[in-house]
Amino acid sequence: MTTSGVRVRIAPSPTGEPHVGTAYIALFNYLFAKKHGGEFILRIEDTDATRSTPEFETKVLDALKWCGLKWSEGPDIGGPYGPYRQSDRKDLYKPYVEQIVTNGHGFRCFCTPERLEKMREAQRAAGLPPKYDGHCLNLSAEEVTSRVAAGEPHVVRMKIPTEGSCKFHDGVYGDVEIPWDAVDMQVLLKADGMPTYHMANVVDDHLMKITHVARGEEWLASVPKHILIYQYLGWEPPVFMHLSLMRNADKSKLSKRKNPTSISYYTALGYIPEALMNFLGLFFIQIAEGEELLTMDELAEKFDPENLSKAGAIFDIQKLDWLNGRWIREKLSEEEFQHRVLTWAMENDRLKEGLKLSQSRITKLGELPDLTGFLFKSDLNLDPSAFAKIKSTPEELLEILNTVQPDLEKILEWNVETIEAELRAIADRMGKKLKVIVAPLFVAVSGSSRSLPLFDSMAILGRSVVRQRLKLAAQTVATLVGPKN
Ligand code: GLU
């Protein structure tokens, strides 16, 4: 039961592997609710129908549950303000969009994608930021009516003040001022009748009685649009808090090219959720050295949303390792430790599938650790000599690894069939035999050239672990490539 009226939410878009950044924002909201005796809600934002999938939704929910973050309302458990998945709320947004149009704050735009592209091209050429040019802003009511009646495809855009600036207070950034002329006439309703993120987000936060919106800093520039939509609908905006994004050690935005970013990667390697939450939670509190090891309850107690830094949270894997080790050694009982190990080995059917593939390949059970060990290892410690038996030159191996790595990202659903199909397509594209492509991958993924079947192994390991192993293998092979003349 809410005692404070505080209601916060995490609103992930199920468009990819659940990201540690989502866990970071979710944890902030969870601790905020806990600290204030409020509610923490989960809403799925899947208005981007081309990129959202039910598989990713399940993965997001599972990953956040694994983190130990419990929500009191959400698509899986319902609640008083449901449904909690935007695609299930599709019809609910239209009347609000119509209200904005009727009150003169929005307009129908018939511009074709081709015209918009030309407009942006011209803006780019002139060194201007891409922004809608207002082509349909002043169409007469008669023209709009007849074009709508004729069934011409159109979107609805919001009007933006032509002068002055939007001033608001942000819990992290303080007083913010953004000139209106930097704000685009945002599409609110797409041609297919689906609302955009901005429209659905505001309507849902209002209808779900969200009091505080804490999200990533990348949304700070969208606040003026959101505040306008609240105003146009006669609603009170929530309190905004824009958290600095997590960064790599070199301060660049945390991205999977530099560091593994999928929660599933950390799960697979055997990080324990308490340690990951402890690590992320330290960004939200002030503590003295020596007090770092904290449970979720202790984090909530020390949680200090008033003193957040804009500097950015550095994702320091060594610190995470240090905390994870301490959690394993100091916080888990012997029984709990055993239980964790077994659960970890069974996750994603890793053990079961590994054994299934091994049965026909061994004479004694004692051969299993050598054969299946790579499915569980956090680090293969690849030696360049592991690639020595392969016939291709180091340059060719590097080319293969560097081509396969980004191409595997194109696979939508990660399984044996899709992996095989993609690798065959890559071999075709590179004009090489499949077995030439597969040889270095075998070593990269399993650490040895005698191992379980490659496609199955890749499916079992999961995309995020495979991505990291290919990256490390490329670094190893690169040491074999002589300096260029
Ligand atoms: N769906 C947005 C995202 O995944 C949520 C942003 C927000 O919290 O308003 O980043």
Instruction: Count CB neighbours of 42 within 10 A.
Output: 26
Atom from ligand 1 closest to the CA of residue 214: 8
Q: What is the pLDDT of residues 197-242, one digit of tens each?
A: 999 999 999 999 999 999 999 999 999 999 999 999 999 999 999 9
Query: What residue numbers does the annotated binding site for ATP cover?
Result: 256
Burial 160-177 (b: 16+ CB within 10 A, else e): beeeeebebebbbbeebe
Residue of 13, 27, 239 to mutate, ligand 1, most atoms within 8 A of C-beta? 13
The whole-angstrom separation of Cα 373 and Cα 232 is 60
Across all residues in the chain, what is the average pLDDT? Answer: 93
- The answer on pLDDT for 481 being more than 90 is no
Which residue's alpha carbon is at the smallest distance from atom 10 of ligand 1? Answer: 12
Instruction: Return the pLDDT at 248.
Output: 84
- The answer on pLDDT for 255 being more than 80 is no
Q: What is the pLDDT of residues 429-444, one digit of tens each?
A: 999 999 999 999 999 9
Report whether residue 215 contacts ligand 1, using a CB cutoff of 6 Å: yes
User: What's the rounded mean pLDDT across residues 47-64?
Assistant: 93
Report whether residue 12 contacts ligand 1, using a CB cutoff of 6 Å: yes
Instruction: Return the pLDDT at 485.
Output: 43
- The answer on pLDDT for 305 being more than 90 is no
Q: What is the pLDDT of residues 133-149, one digit of tens each?
A: 999 999 999 999 999 99
CB-based burial label for 72 (10 Å; 0-12, 13-18, 19+): middle
Atom from ligand 1 closest to the CA of residue 9: 8
Instruction: Return the pLDDT at 3.
Output: 58
Residue of 30, 64, 71, 197 to mutate, ligand 1, most atoms within 8 A of C-beta? 197
- The answer on pLDDT for 246 being more than 90 is no
Atom from ligand 1 closest to the CA of residue 218: 10
Instruction: Return the pLDDT at 270.
Output: 95
The whole-angstrom separation of Cα 289 and Cα 291 is 6
Instruction: Return the pLDDT at 308.
Output: 77
- The answer on pLDDT for 312 being more than 90 is no
Report whether residue 219 contacts ligand 1, using a CB cutoff of 6 Å: yes
The whole-angstrom separation of Cα 421 and Cα 415 is 10
51: CA distance to ligand 1 center in Å?
14
Residue of 9, 45, 243 to mutate, ligand 1, most atoms within 8 A of C-beta? 45
218: CA distance to ligand 1 center in Å?
9
Contacts of 151 (CB under 8 A, 6+ apart): none
Query: What letter represents residue 54's amino acid?
Result: P
Report whether residue 11 contacts ligand 1, using a CB cutoff of 6 Å: yes
Q: What does the chain come to in residues?
A: 485
How crowded is the C-beta side of 81, counted as CA atoms within 13 Å? Answer: 19
Range list of H helices, 286-349 = 296-302, 317-326, 334-346
229: CA distance to ligand 1 center in Å?
16
- The answer on pLDDT for 247 being more than 60 is yes
Instruction: Return the pLDDT at 353.
Output: 96
Report whether residue 15 contacts ligand 1, using a CB cutoff of 6 Å: no
Question: Among 6-10, 127-131, 324-328, 372-376, which is the least confidently predicted range?
Answer: 127-131
Report whether residue 154 contacts ligand 1, using a CB cutoff of 6 Å: no
188: CA distance to ligand 1 center in Å?
16
Atom from ligand 1 closest to the CA of residue 197: 1
434: CA distance to ligand 1 center in Å?
41
pLDDT tier at 2 (50, 70, 90 boundaries)? low
- In this structure, what is the dihedral angle of CA atoms 229, 230, 231, 233, given to the nearest 10 degrees? 80
- Please identify every residue annotated as catalytic: 256
Report whether residue 45 contacts ligand 1, using a CB cutoff of 6 Å: yes
Residue 211 or residue 250, greater confidence? 211
Gyration radius of the chain over CA positions = 26
The whole-angstrom separation of Cα 437 and Cα 426 is 8
User: What's the rounded mean pLDDT across residues 60-78?
Assistant: 97
Instruction: Return the pLDDT at 251.
Output: 80
Question: Among 128-132, 174-178, 253-257, 357-361, which is the least confidently predicted range?
Answer: 253-257
pLDDT tier at 484 (50, 70, 90 boundaries)? low
CB-based burial label for 478 (10 Å; 0-12, 13-18, 19+): middle
Report whether residue 110 contacts ligand 1, using a CB cutoff of 6 Å: no
59: CA distance to ligand 1 center in Å?
17
pLDDT tier at 21 (50, 70, 90 boundaries)? very high
- The answer on pLDDT for 1 being more than 60 is no
Atom from ligand 1 closest to the CA of residue 222: 9
Nearest to 71 by CA among 276, 230, 208, 261: 208
Question: Helix, strand, or coil here: 301?
Answer: helix
Query: What residue numbers does the annotated binding site cover?
Result: 256
Q: What's the Cα-to-Cα distance from 19 to each of 232, 244, 349, 408, rounded to whole Å?
A: 34, 15, 22, 18
Report whether residue 210 contacts ligand 1, using a CB cutoff of 6 Å: no
Which residue's alpha carbon is at the smallest distance from atom 3 of ligand 1? Answer: 12
128: CA distance to ligand 1 center in Å?
27
Q: What is the pLDDT of residues 149-177, one digit of tens each?
A: 999 999 999 999 999 999 999 999 999 99
DSSP for 213-242 reads EEEEGGGGGGHHHHHHHHHHTT----EEEE
